[in-house]
Structure formats: structure tokens, C-alpha cells
Amino acid sequence: MNFLHERPGYHSPMTYIGAGASPTVINKFNSGIEDAWSGPFGQYDVRTKVVEGYENTIYVPSITTERSFVYSDNDCSGAWDPVEEGWVAAHEAGHLMGLPDFYRDINGKSVPMPGHDKTIMGQYGGDITEDDITMILFYNALSSTSSYPKIDPPF
Ligand SMILES: [Zn+2]
């Protein structure tokens, strides 16, 4: 049995702040998240919709000099580069849902960790896997009182 099949839908409340958070940029990021995080992933059937809310707050500067990130200590805020494409927002949304990076920077090059080639948290342009959804459900179950419970009840 899996809950996502019984009650598909994942609502990800997001607020974007900062001079770079234009309607065009917000739409690009939200579309990137919704497109990537919707679909059949192994045993799971997932539909993702970004809605407005304060669970996740992302700062979008007008000009940025650093890589987009989500703070690892709270998993609900960060700063995203407005010039990045939708895939980057989908990767960062993975962090918002509790997933870690599955790559390492080696000599200035991002290298997927073993078993994470072509996955959303392991390699640029990678896809979501069944394991990613399993981990998100696991984190949700572990941290029902933290900032993680972002999958609607009764999950
Ligand atoms: Zn990352």
C-alpha cells in the first residue's frame, strides 16, 4: 500500500522575496518544480502544485554571485539565482522536502555519488526517482512536528 497512490497531491507553500522575484522568475521556478515533481515514480503517483504560503521562503536577489541553495539547518529557506532554469528550482525543492545532495564537488566539478547518476539530487538535469519519494515520505514520518510536514494529511 502506498499513500501517494491513495491520495495524490503534494502542496508546497512558497513565498519568494527579493528584487529578483519577478512574476516571470516565480512562474519559471514554480513550473520547474511542478513539472519535475509530478508523474509516476515507480510505485508512486505524485502530483505537485506550488501554492502561496510561508512554509518555504526563498530570497531571489536581482544579481547573484553564488550558487542557489537551501539552508541545511532548516530546509525551508534559501536563496535562488534568478537566472537559473526551472530544473534548479526543482533540485532546490528537493532540499525543501528534506533530501540531501547526492553529488560532491571534486576539483571544481560536480560528480554524482555512486548510484545517483542522472538523479535530481545527484546530477544536473537529473530526474526524480522512486527512492526520492520514499525518502521524502520517510522524513515526513520522522519529523511530523518540524518544518517537514509538507505533504498533506493524512500522509
Ligand atoms: Zn543541492
* d(CA 127, ligand 1 centre) in Å: 14
Q: Separation of 103 CA from ligand 1 center, angstroms?
A: 8
Instruction: Give the dihedral sign, CA 100/111/87/3.
Output: negative
Distance 102 CA to ligand 1 centre (A): 8
Name the grid cell of 134: 520514499
Q: How far is the CA of 86 from the centre of ligand 1 (A)?
A: 14
Neighbours of 131 (CB within 10 A): 16
Q: How far is the CA of 94 from the centre of ligand 1 (A)?
A: 8
Residue 130, pLDDT score: 94
In this prediction, residue 65 has a pLDDT band, given cuts at 50, 70 and 90, of low
Where residue 15 falls among pLDDT bands split at 50, 70, 90? very high
The answer to whether residue 6 scores a pLDDT higher than 60 is no
pLDDT value at residue 72: 75
At 72-103, the pLDDT tens digits run 777 788 999 999 999 999 999 999 888 999 99
CA–centroid distance, 1 to ligand 1, in Å, is 30
pTM: 0.85
Q: Is the pLDDT of residue 152 over 70?
A: no
Say if CB 103 and CB 111 are below 8 A apart: yes
Q: pLDDT band at 142, cuts 50/70/90?
A: low
Collapsing DSSP states into helix, strand and coil, what is residue 146?
coil
Distance 95 CA to ligand 1 centre (A): 7
> What domains lie within the chain, and their CATH numbers?
3-142 (3.40.390.10)
